[in-house]
Amino acid sequence: MTDDPQAAAPPRLKAQRARQLGTFAGLLALCIVLWAATPHFLTVSNLLNVLEQTSINAIVAVGMTFVIISGGIDLSVGSVLALSGIALAAALEGGVPAPAAIALALATGTACGLVNGVLITFGRLPPFIATLGMMSVARGAALMLAEGRPISGFTEGFRALATGRVVIVPAPVILTAAVYLVAHFVLARTVFGRATYAIGGNEEAARLSGVHVRFHKTAVYGVAGLTSAVAAILLTARLNSAQPTAGTMYELDAIAATVIGGTSLLGGEGTLVGALIGALIMGVLRNGLNLLNVSSFFQQVVIGAVIIGAVLIDMSLKRRR
CB of 11 to another protein, least distance (A): 5
**Binding track, positions 190-209, relative to another protein; x by CB under 8 A:** xxxxxx-xx--xx-xxxxxx
**150 φ, ψ to 5°?**
-70, 150
Residues 130 and 139: their CA atoms lie apart, in Å, by: 14
Does residue 321 interact with another protein by CB under 8 A?
no
Go through the chain and tell me how many residues it has.
321
Q: Which is nearer to another protein, 1 or 249 (CB)?
A: 1
Q: How many CA atoms lie within 13 A of 114 on its CB side?
A: 8
CB of 318 to another protein, least distance (A): 11
Residues 6 or more apart from 107 whose CB is under 8 A from it? 229
Q: Judged by CB under 8 A, which of 87, 98, 141, 211 binds another protein?
A: 211
| Choices 11-19, 82-90, 112-120, 310-318 (CB under 8 A): range interacting with another protein | 11-19
Q: Which is nearer to another protein, 2 or 316 (CB)?
A: 2
First to last CA, the chain: 23
| Helix or strand (DSSP H, E) at 88 | helix 77-93
Query: Dihedral sign, CA of 28, 34, 37, 38?
Result: negative
CB of 211 to another protein, least distance (A): 6
CB of 186 to another protein, least distance (A): 9
Does residue 189 interact with another protein by CB under 8 A?
yes
| Binding stretches for another protein (CB under 8 A) | 1-9, 11-13, 189-195, 197-198, 201-202, 204-212, 268-269
